[in-house]
Amino acid sequence: MDTTETALLLARVQFAFTISFHFLFPSFSIGLASYLAVLEGLWLWTKKQVYLDLFRYWLRIFAVAFAMGVVSGIVMSYQFGTNWAVFSDRAGPIIGPLMAYEVLTAFFLEAGFLGVMLFGMKKVGPGLHFAATLMVALGTFISAFWILSVNSWMQTPQGWAVNNVGQFVPGPGGWLPIIFNPSFPYRLVHTVIAAYLTTAFAVGGVGAWHLLRGHKTEAAKKSFSMAMWMAAIVAPIQIFAGDMHGLNTLEHQPAKVMAMEGHFQSHPDGAPLILFGLPNQKEQRVDYAVEIPKLSSLILKHDPNAPLAGLDTIPRKNQPPVAVVFWTFRMMVGIGFAMLGLGLWSLFARLRGKLYDWKWLHRAGVAMGPTGFVAVLAGWATTEVGRQPWTITGLLRTAEASSAIGTPGMVGSLTAFVLVYFGAFSAGSWYILKLMAQPPHEGEPDNVAGPIRTAGTTPAMEGA
């Protein structure tokens, strides 16, 4: 490897590292913000203490996750320029405005109302406070909308033209074809549902943990029950949404699907589904493959004998690295089906009236608690690595997109990121786990940030 290749690899590793770390937090806070809105709404509606207790319990965890999302997200907004200057210059006129809209419509909404949400139930009253909670939840959605539009445009660019200095600019069709590019609706639905499932399993895992420990409080039961409803109903929807997304990818980024499937060869009369194997890019084959004949064609073309092209139709220099895509895809799908399994099991337990009694169900719930995060990262790895060697499919190669930063600088900054992130975010994650280890109590204190106190709060009411 020469130095430019090493620097490029380091830039890619740095992006992968910072974006992966960052995305753990939004994938949790998108789901948690909605969950909090549901809890607070149920509390206002039913006046049942358990909903308020759960709201306060999860709000504390949300505050930490959200703060870590904010600080790691600020890093992302500068990563494009520091490490990917050519990409910033050439794609800036298209992706810049979309990301600016994310800041204008989502970030301020979240940050502005989060202060009220965390510090203000006494100050603004329950009605306005609920409005603030809804605004924070809405903000997380709007944020997902814009950033996924940007990512989808890089995956399936549409509606662009090139100006005289080589920048990609909006074409005559204006912004709608850019924002609503072919893969965007599928990716948006798939990603938001993934955030919901991730949160549901984290919440359910915590509920299951406390049930196992014998804390059979109303709140622990409610956590577990709500999460299992989500698993039973949303996991199958997600599998369906993922399938639709895959078919869309087949249409627009066939090489990515070939890598996911491990199809080096074309199959003119029905392609097998390779369950497992070792993709061998050098020899262009999958070693030790375990296959189910015709199934891949059945899934992708709804016809067992339909022809499917393989990577032998794609020049070597345009092929994604198959092994990474192949394995991350299997991790994601495997977890998805395991989630479905747990959901069905919980339905069965519910029907038998044993939802809060079956220890093995609860153990499975605890074991599955963190899997949403793994599935989300695996899925992103599949789609991002599957886009390679392109940063913008067919328009800009990753090798041409980076800044001319020397290797020493890249090594130094990557080292700093790794040290700081592991220091700061492992402390944060450890703290979240510590919070989760406490069962939700009856009469959770109305105090989120600020000094830990045992005394009552000051009854400071506006004009009261």
Interactions with other proteins, residue window 29-48 (CB under 8 A): none
Which residue, 1 or 404, is less far from other proteins as judged by CB? Answer: 404
Between CA 49 and CA 444 the distance in angstroms is: 9
Instruction: Find the binder of other proteins among 268, 293, 394, 408 (CB under 8 A).
Output: 408
Tokens standing for residue 63? 């505050």
**124 binding other proteins? (CB under 8 A):** yes
Contact criterion met (CB below 8 Å) for 212 and 277: no
Q: For residues 132-171, which are near other proteins according to CB under 8 A?
A: 163, 165, 167, 169-170
Among 219-227, 235-243, 276-284, 450-458, which window interacts with other proteins (CB under 8 A)?
A: 450-458
Span interacting with other proteins, options 281-289, 290-298, 316-324, 451-459, rule CB under 8 A = 451-459
**Three-state SS for 273?**
strand
Is 440 near other proteins (CB under 8 A)? no
Q: How many CB atoms lie within 10 A of CB 230?
A: 22
Q: Which of 3, 4, 46, 81 binds other proteins (CB under 8 A)?
A: 81
Residues of span 82-121 touching other proteins by CB under 8 A: 82, 85-86, 88-97, 99-105, 107-108, 111-116, 118-120
Residue 283 amino acid letter: E
Told to check if 445 binds other proteins by CB under 8 A, we report no
Q: Does 403 bind other proteins (CB under 8 A)?
A: yes
Cβ 338 to other proteins, closest distance in Å? 32
Site string for other proteins, 275-314 (x = CB under 8 A): ----------------------------------------
Spatial contact of 303 and 314, defined as CB atoms under 8 Å apart = no
**Interaction between residue 73 and other proteins (CB under 8 A):** yes
- For the chain, give me the number of helices (H) and strands (E)? 15, 6
Contact 18, 417 (CB under 8 A): yes
Instruction: Confirm or reject binding of residue 427 to other proteins (CB under 8 A).
Output: yes
Residue 458 binds other proteins (CB under 8 A) = yes
- Interface residue with other proteins among 416, 442, 445, 446 (CB under 8 A) is 416
Decide whether 120 or 304 has the Cβ nearer to other proteins. 120
Nearer to other proteins, 57 or 80 (CB): 80
**Integer distance in angstroms from the first to the last C-alpha of the chain?**
71
The closest alpha carbon to 236, from 115, 344, 354, belongs to: 344
Q: Among all chains, which residue has been given the structure tokens 């869309």?
A: 248
Rounded Cα distance between 306 and 434, Å, is 53
Residues 175-234 that bind other proteins (CB under 8 A): 175
Q: Is 438 in the site for other proteins (CB under 8 A)?
A: no
DSSP per-residue string spanning 220-255: HHHHHHHHHHHHHHHHHHHHHHHHHHHHHHHHH-HH
- Contact segment (CB under 8 A) with other proteins among 24-32, 39-47, 219-227, 427-435 equals 427-435
Contact by Cβ (8 Å): 156, 169 = no
Specify burial of residue 29 (Cβ count, 10 A radius: 0-12, 13-18, 19+): buried
Task: Provide the minimum distance between the beta carbon of 195 and other proteins in the complex, in angstroms, as a whole number.
Answer: 20
Question: Pairing between strand 396-397 and 273-280?
Answer: unpaired
Establish if 389 lies at the interface with other proteins (CB under 8 A): no
Rule CB under 8 A: say whether 341 interacts with other proteins: no
Nearest-10 crossing angle of helices 254-261, 218-252: 120
Min separation Cβ 78 and other proteins, Å: 6
Where does this chain touch other proteins (CB under 8 A) — which range of 46-54, 65-73, 227-235, 325-333?
65-73
Kindly state the smallest distance separating residue 112's Cβ from other proteins, in Å. Answer: 5
CA angle 302-307-308, nearest 5°?
90
Burial 105-122 (b: 16+ CB within 10 A, else e): ebbebbeebbebbbeebb
Q: How many residues of this chain interact with other proteins, rule: CB under 8 A?
A: 83
